[in-house]
A = this chain, B = another copy of it.
Amino acid sequence: MMQHFLTTESLSKDQLTTILDAAESFYNIDGGHVKKVPLLRGKTIVNLFFEASTRTRTTFELAAKRLSADVLNININASATVKGESLLDTLRNIEAMNVDMFVIRHQDSGAAEFISKHVAPGISVINAGDGRHAHPTQAMLDVFTIRRIKDNFENLKVAIVGDLLHSRVARSQIHALRTLGTQDIRVIAPNTLLPACVETLGVQAFQNMEEGLDNVDIIIMLRLQKERMQGALLPSEHEYFNLFGLTPERLALAAKDATVMHPGPINRGVEISSEVADGIQSVILQQVSNGIAVRMAIMSILAGSE
Contacts and interface: CB of A to CB of B under 8 A. Distances in A.
A201 interface: no
B285 A93 contact: yes
A97 interface: yes
A59 B98 CA distance: 11
Interface in A77-127: 78-80, 83-86, 89-90, 92-94, 96-99
Given A85-B266, A97-B62, A54 B36 contact: no
Interface in A47-76: 52, 54-55, 58-59, 61-62, 65-66, 70, 72, 74-75
B36 A98 contact: no
Nearest to A120: B285
Given A54-B79, A292-B98, A36 B266 contact: no
Contacts of A292: 97-98
Contacts of A35: 42
A63 to B, nearest CB: 9
A196 to B, nearest CB: 28
Contacts of A39: none
A85 to B, nearest CB: 4
A41 B285 CA distance: 25
A72 B78 CA distance: 19
What are the 6 closest A-B residue pairs judged by CB atoms, nearest first?
A: A96-B288, A85-B265, A54-B79, A36-B42, A96-B285, A65-B70
Interface of A: 33-36, 41-42, 44, 52, 54-55, 58-59, 61-62, 65-66, 70, 72, 74-75, 78-80, 83-86, 89-90, 92-94, 96-99, 226, 264-268, 285-289, 291-292
5 contacts: A54-B75, A58-B72, A62-B97, A89-B268, A96-B285
